[in-house]
Amino acid sequence: MIDLFKLAQAMSREAIESKDKELWALAMSYLWRSKWTCKQ
């Protein structure tokens, strides 16, 4: 099982460095999803 939170953090860091808005949005959706899956 991939740790979505760590993946999303790495992706958002990458997106900020490359100024890639689409990648950043994808990272945010992963962060959002990991937040909800952790609560269940």
pLDDT 10s per residue in the chain (40 long)? 568 778 888 888 999 999 999 999 988 888 888 776 665 4
Range of the domain at 28: 4-39
pTM (two decimals): 0.60
Q: How far apart are CA 17 and CA 23, in angstroms?
A: 11
The total number of structural domains that make up the chain: 1
